[in-house]
Amino acid sequence: LLEVIYTDGARKVTVRKAEGEGQDISGVYGHDVTETREWKNGQTVTVCRETENAGEEDSLSIQIAHGGSSWSLFAPDGLSDAACDAFLTAVFE
């Protein structure tokens, strides 16, 4: 398991990668809302949000299976859709 944690002092984002597709390696369970959506090129992305605080500030967890690996991104303080798309673009294109 590879784990990278980024913080700017106020917010924290954790990215993880593990060998083998289909694993939930986020370490975050029990989300209120989970949806699977197709991203670009048929890539399936599972997005989980806590709905305690409505809007873009909800806790966010994303799980992705790609190229024989499982990936996750976790932002406990929320992350905008644009920031999520930027992460997916940077990693998978």
The rounded average pLDDT for each run of 10 residues, N- to C-terminus, in the chain (93 residues) is 91 90 75 70 72 57 81 83 81 73
pLDDT at 5: 94
Q: Which helix (H) or strand (E) holds 77?
A: none
Q: What is the dihedral of CA 51, 80, 85, 67, to 10 degrees?
A: -50
Cα 19 to chain centroid, rounded: 16
- Predicted confidence at residue 80, as pLDDT, reads 78
pLDDT of residue 58: 66
